[in-house]
Amino acid sequence: MPIDLQLANSFFRSNNVADECPACGRPSWRFGKDVVSLPYALDKTSQTSIHAIPTICNNCGYIRLFLDSED
């Protein structure tokens, strides 16, 4: 599912998400192209997934994931 860039930018601004990359310290990010689905196990017999918005550092490639507001 494509990322709504306007909504994502608004979320980041209103929640004071830090600009600095924790790996290299540079404040240069871009959003990934799509919301990603990440599977995880609830217990030994069931599995589900969450949807996350990836942000990628333009300098070093570090990836941060934020829970999609639709979840």
Domain ranges of the chain: 5-16+27-67
The pLDDT value given to residue 48: 85
Identity of residue 38: L
* Paired tokens of 21: 């990359």
Does pLDDT of 2 surpass 90?
no
Question: pLDDT tens digits, residue range 10-57?
Answer: 888 999 998 899 999 999 999 999 999 998 877 778 788 889 999 999
The pLDDT value given to residue 70: 62
Residue 62 buriedness (CB in 10 A; 0-12 / 13-18 / 19+): middle
Question: pLDDT tens digits, residue range 60-69?
Answer: 999 999 988 7
